[in-house]
Amino acid sequence: MGEGSELIDKIRAKARELLQGGRVDCFIGYEEGSRGRARPAFIYDPQDAERLIWDERCAHNLVTYLHQFKSPLRRGEEPPRVGILVKPCDSRSLNILFREEQIERERVYVVGVTCDGVRTNGRPQERCRRCAERVPLVYDIVMGGVPNVLGRDDYADVTKLEQMSPRERLAFWTKEFDRCIRCYACRQACPACYCFECVAEQLDPAWMGIAIDLPQKQFFHAMRAYHLAGRCSGCSACEEACPMGIPLSLLNRKVAREVEALFGYKAGQDAETPPPLATFKKEEQLPM
């Protein structure tokens, strides 16, 4: 992808420059993990920029970590400014968070990188196969070569779901959620899930119970899908994080497709367009 080690050097140099110049207090990127995996990296010291890598193993959506940098690192200080490496899909999450005023644009230095797709354990991810956006949508600087591959999203997976009868769909999702363990990895990996107190854990009112049983699990996933309506960037971090291999992005894509059909809106394309479910237009009045 890109220019290989030359690109990695450019990323490292940029991170080093940002940290040395005090433009950012922390640079979030990827580093070599254990057992041949890549993992999120948090660089605070310019000389640690050497740890940064960039290759097809860098699948995580790092935007979710911006939420933990909203408070000062030390008492009495300003919240830290952060540099972040984003792929095109991650950049959509950024736009959503900028639009929702969760992250201040000026506090983030965005290093965008073009992407030919990522892999999990050597296997290309499904979302990359159908990805048509190979250049980040928002950045302060973009790196990487012209992307080689351009995918196309035919929503075949969603169509297959829609061809099932309601009964078949219920049976399908019941079978999938049966092995959910309510570990919340999906929620925690998601950049758009940032509520201080999630509906799933609220005690007063107790929207759902603590039980790890099918009714609560169905409620949680349906609720989360609705809360993401018009807000999901399609990054699949949820599905990648799930230990039980539940096709969560299918559910979110179904909802996203509904939103697109109803409002002509796709989340994350920019940070200006008002999201449909947070906007009321007079002409949307229901007939009396």
Binders of another protein in range 42-61 (CB under 8 A): 42, 60
The correct pick among 192, 240, 256, 268 for binding another protein (CB under 8 A) is 240
Given the DSSP bridges, would you call strands 123-124 and 141-143 parallel, antiparallel or unpaired?
A: unpaired
Decide: is 227 part of the binding site for another protein (CB under 8 A).
Answer: no
Q: What are phi and psi of 123, to 5 degrees?
A: -95, 125
Q: Cβ of residue 41: shortest distance to another protein, in angstroms? A: 8
Binding pattern to another protein, positions 189-208, x when CB under 8 A?
Answer: x-------x---x-xxxxxx
Binders of another protein in range 245-264 (CB under 8 A): 245
Decide: is 164 part of the binding site for another protein (CB under 8 A).
Answer: no
Binders of another protein in range 6-35 (CB under 8 A): 33-35
Decide: is 37 part of the binding site for another protein (CB under 8 A).
Answer: yes
Decide: is 151 part of the binding site for another protein (CB under 8 A).
Answer: no
Amino acid at 183: C
The correct pick among 10, 12, 64, 125 for binding another protein (CB under 8 A) is 64
CA dist., res. 157 & res. 278, Å (int)? 28
How is residue 253 written in tokens? Answer: 């894509």
Q: 8, exposed or middle or buried, with CB in 10 Å at 0-12, 13-18, 19+? A: middle
The correct pick among 170, 171, 211, 262 for binding another protein (CB under 8 A) is 211
Give yes or no for a contact between 29 and 61, defined as CB atoms under 8 angstroms apart.
Answer: no
Q: What are phi and psi of 2, to 5 degrees?
A: 60, -140
Stretch that binds another protein, among 105-113, 163-171, 180-188, 278-286 (CB under 8 A): 180-188
CA dist., res. 240 & res. 245, Å (int)? 8
Nearer to another protein, 129 or 179 (CB): 179
Q: Cβ of residue 9: shortest distance to another protein, in angstroms? A: 23
How is residue 32 written in tokens? Answer: 């070599």
The correct pick among 8, 119, 216, 260 for binding another protein (CB under 8 A) is 216
CA dist., res. 121 & res. 111, Å (int)? 25
| C-alpha of 259 from chain center | 18
Stretch that binds another protein, among 123-131, 152-160, 173-181, 261-269 (CB under 8 A): 173-181
How is residue 101 written in tokens? Answer: 């005023």
Residue 275's CB: how many other CB atoms inside 10 A? 17
Which residues of this protein are in contact with another protein, per CB under 8 A? 33-35, 37-42, 60, 64-65, 68, 175-176, 178-179, 181-185, 187-189, 197, 201, 203-216, 240-241, 243-245
